[in-house]
Structure 1
Amino acid sequence: MDIFPISLKLQQQPCLIVGGGAIAYRKAVLLAKAGAIIHVVAPAIEAKLLQLVHSTQGQYLQAPFSLDMPLRHYRLVIAATNDKMVNIQVFECCEAENILVNSVDDLPHCRFMVPAIVDRSPLVLSIASNGTSPVLSRQIRTQLESIIPHGMGKLAEFSGKWRAAVKVKIVNPDERRIFWEDLYASPLKEQVFNDNMAEADRLIEQALMQWQKPKGEVYLVGAGPGDPELLTLKALRLMQQADVVIYDRLVSPAILELCRRDADKVYVGKARSNHSVPQEGINALLVEYAGKGKRVCRLKGGDPFIFGRGGEEIQELFAAGVTFQVVPGITAASGCAAYAGIPLTHRDYAQSVRFLTGHLKEGSPELPWQELVYPNQTLVLYMGLVGLEKICAQLIAHGQRSDMPVALISKGTTPEQKVVVGTLADIADKVTQHHIQAPTLTIIGEVVSLRDQLQWQG
């Protein structure tokens, strides 16, 4: 994060604009909306800007900017002249006094940026791009304008009116947050939007009287194969409301970033021969946090029920009497195959697909080899990178032809995706040649030959 977003309270605070033209006026309008007292220094000033200055009880000084001009009593300064050297002088003077300063359209000489704003006062949203793309920020603002009801401002005012009473009734801040989240999901919101404030007051009074300490709950959420845009809407919603997020090593940083920022995040990643927390420990953590009344998101790469041990976890939750939800995710097989341009089934090449785990037991993979050597079938191996050479040898030994196409998809659906194609005879050698690392998915079958035609990612 290159910039730190803050919201300044500028009511009755003196702010200086250097410049008297159209750009200065646009900035002054925003400051006036925030309740600032606007002062302007410029050799000339547009009439509408002068009127705005007077309406805020500010002053206009008809003069060019001077290096000895006292600045220390201003909360912030905006340099909005058409002379770059003057703007730089303003910046340097403000820096010497540790005053927040913005030089319009001159990023190196800005200590703060003015964002694109969605105004639903007292609810205000700001969108900033660190000055790199103001047009993009405005486009995003337009999108938000269309989806955020204007009634959100009234809802924020209503919440402020009741905030103290709710705080007295519900002392625990985590429980208080849950109360508000439940309230905003109730019919009360529409009553506020429609100005039925008496009914809204009745509903919140009723909710406070009926309030009980929330019980813990676990959300078993499939995070998909890596691309955050492949998350389901329900997954994202539950990730945003969880108090605790317990995640594994297959959850990408971009997806973890979408979880509620102030949630406790607990890493329980498991790699081959290196289990940060054993499965029994993970099960115990879920029960423990839920027992404390927490909403727990168990975030798992791919889909929880496909080689994710999700079934074992909810068995433990069921036995402990813990409420749970299961949110399926896009499993690595379908996600990685799609991003590699390899259809898992195809009318001419494969009428069935089989998912397998390539885990080794006592140094060798244990798979039903005879069933796997079958025409028009696609095999997908999870976690099969370490035993790949033995798997290929066994398939050939049981009758599969050695030139059967094979694809390795490393870190599929992410910007680091790498795809290597070979055959049963040579694919194991290509692991070292191409520096393939886990997590890697292996696809075996004629459908791999379609990649040259159908690939649309790396």
Structure 2
Amino acid sequence: MDLLQLQPSDLSARRNPTRMAPLAKLPVFWALDRKRVLLAGGTDAAAWKAELLAACGADVYVYARELSQAFESLVQRDGGPEAGRFFHHARDWSPQDFDDTSIAIGDCADDEEAAAFFDAACAAGIPVNVIDKPKYCQFQFGSIVNRSPVIVAISTDGAAPILAQAIRRRIETLLPPSLKSWASLAQTIRDKVNSHLRVGAPRRAFWESFVDRAFGAEPAVGIENALLADARHLDAVSKSNIGCVTLVGAGPGDAELLTMKAVRALQAADVILFDDLVSDEVLELARREAKRMLVGKRGGRTSCKQEDINAMMVSLAKAGKRVVRLKSGDPMIFGRAGEEIACLEKAGIPVDVVPGITSASAMAACLGVSLTHRDHARAVRFVTGHSRSGSLPDDLDWNHLAEQKTTTIFYMGGRTADEIRSRLLAAGMDSRTPAVIVSAVTRTKEKRWVGMLDTLAEAVAQIGVDEPVLIGVGHVFWDAKNTDAWLPKRFPSQKREEHRVVS
């Protein structure tokens, strides 16, 4: 069967992008260059709106018997050929003034005046905003980050203007001033670039590379020619019609733990083949047009065969698709990445790897534990908790795993916890050695247990194995944090060389 023709019924399940969540207001960017705007009022508040409108190139018709000093200075200022113009009429507005007007803004002293202005604008079919009176506003002004032609507007629907200002300050620190120059350059070369590159992956690849540069220094002299040369090169490469595959680490579940490179890969993908353990929050960061296909493998459940996943990646890439193989944790740690890389390279498919935060690191962070604390451990080992048959691997060196100065993390060890305990005890490990269990690390269903090796199996039975389970064993876990009220078990009071642990 052609893997590109797979229908939804061919796979056990898929997750589609969620529908757009409700919006308090529709964010719209309005072109006002040389458009007539009516502004009623001559206060400082009206002056700020007038300056904003003029910055958009509008012809601002001001109706006010008097102007504040700030407004008077604004009207007399020459903003240059690209700025809007002011036309002051030293009188009150009238219904006839709304003719040929794009929008109307009023600074009204009371609700009676505001209602009259609002009704007149509505009767003329003109969108209207009355300053500081939400009841009489059909649209609102947001807090603005100006890197024009890049413009960011923030709205809290009037609930918390101070919050909007705080968000604006945060965004200001993220967007370098050079972004303005790069955005202007994009406007200049857009048609030329698009004439070289067909719609789809090649064109998107060019603009993604452009974006990476745009967050750096100001454009260098001659950069336009270099960019157009890049476009021509991408055009030549794209005619081979070979796509690529990127193995991306999705981390343990919390979307905020994704790397920036992982997010860029998700935004560039045509197809995403994702594991069952990848969270919905991570998938929501993907490009909405990307096709999403669940190819997860879970213990005790019906799963896709690795051979089928490999064939799917090769088939999609040969069809020119940019494929992201999205794996929980880090692809290179118990992610079978080696098999997938070998298969893709054999088929001549370009493959790249974006590492992710592995679950052991996330567990250490949530427990507040250093896995290589110099007082307790000289080494840390990551060990698989099951083989292909579902039992523990036969070739594990339990004598080394039982060493006192070693921290051991067992991945996928929930169903083999009792055997792990027995093997470590048989190899000479003290039954009172600290042990921890974390289920669904960094997720909303996360559960933790902190105790001793001897009671490991009973704890797993309490936590359950429906979610991914990590088991940690070693003296670094003496001070592990357990915040779960449902499982308050702690180490009993006892003396150790470095610590006194109190239950």
Match of 1:280 among 307, 329, 340: 307
Cα 1:383–1:71 shift into 2, 3 Å: farther
Give the 3 Å change call, closer, same or farther, for CA 183–397 of structure 1 in structure 2: closer
The 5 Å alignment of 1:412-423 reads: 412-414=441-443, 417-423=446-452
Return the offset for 1:43: 6.6
In the alignment, the residues of structure 2 paired with residue 439 and residue 104 of structure 1 have an alpha-carbon distance, to the nearest angstrom, of 54
1:277 offset after TM fit, Å? 3.6
**8 Å contact 2:437–2:471 — kept in the other structure?**
yes
Q: Does 1:380 align with 2:409?
A: yes
User: In structure 2, do the counterparts of structure 1 residues 47 and 379 end up closer, same or farther at CA, with 3 Å as the change threshold?
Assistant: same
Instruction: Give the corresponding residue for 1:355.
Output: 382
Alignment pair present for 1:212 and 2:242: no
Query: How far is the alpha carbon of 1:438 from its aligned partner?
Result: 1.2
- Equivalent residues in 2 for 1:221-370, closer than 5 Å: 221-275=248-302, 277-359=304-386, 364-366=391-393, 368=396, 370=398
Change (3 A) 1:386 1:73: farther
Change (3 A) 1:42 1:232: same
Residue 154 (structure 1) aligns with: 184
Aligned residue for 2:374, secondary structure, equals: coil
Contact 2:142 2:155 in 1 (8 A): yes
Residue type of the alignment partner of 2:382: F
Q: CA deviation at 1:141?
A: 4.1
The two structures, once aligned, show a CA RMSD in angstroms of: 4.0
* Structure 2 CA distance for partners of 1:286 and 1:100, relative to 1, 3 Å: farther
1:42 Cα deviation from its structure 2 partner: 5.6
Note the C-alpha offset of 1:85: 7.2
Map 1:70-219 onto structure 2 (within 5 A).
Answer: 74-78=101-105, 80-81=107-108, 83=110, 100-102=127-129, 104=131, 111-131=138-158, 132=160, 133-146=163-176, 148-160=178-190, 163=191, 165-182=192-209, 193=219, 196=221, 199=222, 202-203=225-226, 206-207=229-230, 210=233, 211-214=235-238, 215-219=242-246
Shift of 1:447: 1.6
Offset of residue 307 of structure 1: 0.7
What is the CA-CA distance between 1:29 and the residue it aligns to?
Answer: 1.4
AA partner of residue 193 (structure 1): P
Say if 1:96 and 1:454 are closer, same or farther in 2 by CA, change over 3 A: same
- Change over 3 Å in CA distance of 1:144–1:445 after alignment to 2: closer
Cα deviation for residue 32 of structure 1 reads 1.4
Contact kept in structure 1, 2:437 and 2:448, CA below 8 Å: yes
Partners of 1:4 and 1:42 lie apart in 2 by 31
Which sections of structure 1, spanning at least 5 residues, go unmatched? none
Conservation of the 8 A alpha-carbon contact between 2:433 and 2:452 = yes
Determine the C-alpha separation between the residues in 2 that align with 1:302 and 1:366.
21
Residue aligned with 2:449, SS: strand
Alpha-carbon shift at residue 427 of structure 1 (Å): 4.2
Partner secondary structure for residue 245 of structure 1: strand
Equivalent in 4, 24, 27 of residue 49 of structure 2: 27
Look up the match of 1:56: 85
State which drifts further: 137-146 or 47-56.
47-56
Structure 1 residues 27 and 57: CA distance shift in structure 2, 3 A: closer
Relative to 1, partners in 2 of residues 1:19 and 1:268: Cα closer, same or farther, differing over 3 Å?
farther
Distance verdict in 2 for CA 1:397–1:261, change over 3 Å:
same
What TM-score does the superposition give when structure 2 sets the normalisation length? 0.73
In 2, the alpha carbon distance for the partners of 1:206 and 1:243 equals 25
Shift of 1:313: 0.9
Alignment CA distance shift 1:278-1:136 (3 Å): farther
What per-residue deviation string (whole Å, max 9, x for no partner) do you get for residues 368-393 of structure 1? 37333332322211122233344334
Measure how far apart 1:9 and its partner are.
1.5
Partner of 2:434: 405
1:438 paired with 2:464, answer no
- Take 1:130 and 1:435, find their aligned partners in 2: how far apart are those partners? 44
Give 2:85's aligned amino acid.
T
Distance apart, 1:452 and its partner CA: 4.5
Distance in 2 between residues matched to 1:424 and 1:405, nearest whole Å:
6
| Cross-structure match for 2:420 | 391
Q: How many residues in Structure 1 have an aligned counterpart in Structure 2?
A: 445
Q: Structure 1, residues 425-446: CA drift from partner, whole Å, max 9, x if none?
A: 4344445656785133221222
Q: Distance in 1 between matches of 2:397 and 2:412?
A: 17
Higher mean alpha-carbon deviation, 275-284 vs 360-369, is at 360-369
- Normalising by structure 1, report the TM-score: 0.80
Counterpart-to-counterpart distance in 1, 2:75 and 2:56: 13
Identity value in percent = 35
Q: Are the equivalent residues in 2 in contact too, given 1:37–1:56 (CA < 8 A)?
A: yes
Instruction: Give 1:287's aligned amino acid.
Output: V
Structure 2 Cα separation of the partners of residues 4 and 351 of structure 1: 57
Deviation digits for residues 167-210 of structure 1 (CA, Å, limit 9, x no counterpart): 444333432233444567689x98x935x5xx456545655655
From 18, 32, 35, the equivalent of 1:13 is: 35
**Larger deviation, residues 247-256 vs 102-111:** 102-111
Verify the 8 A CA contact 2:251 2:329 in the aligned structure 1. Answer: yes
- For residue 304 of structure 1, report the CA deviation from its aligned partner: 0.7
Residues 303, 31 of structure 1: CA spacing in aligned structure 2 closer, same or farther, 3 A cutoff?
A: same
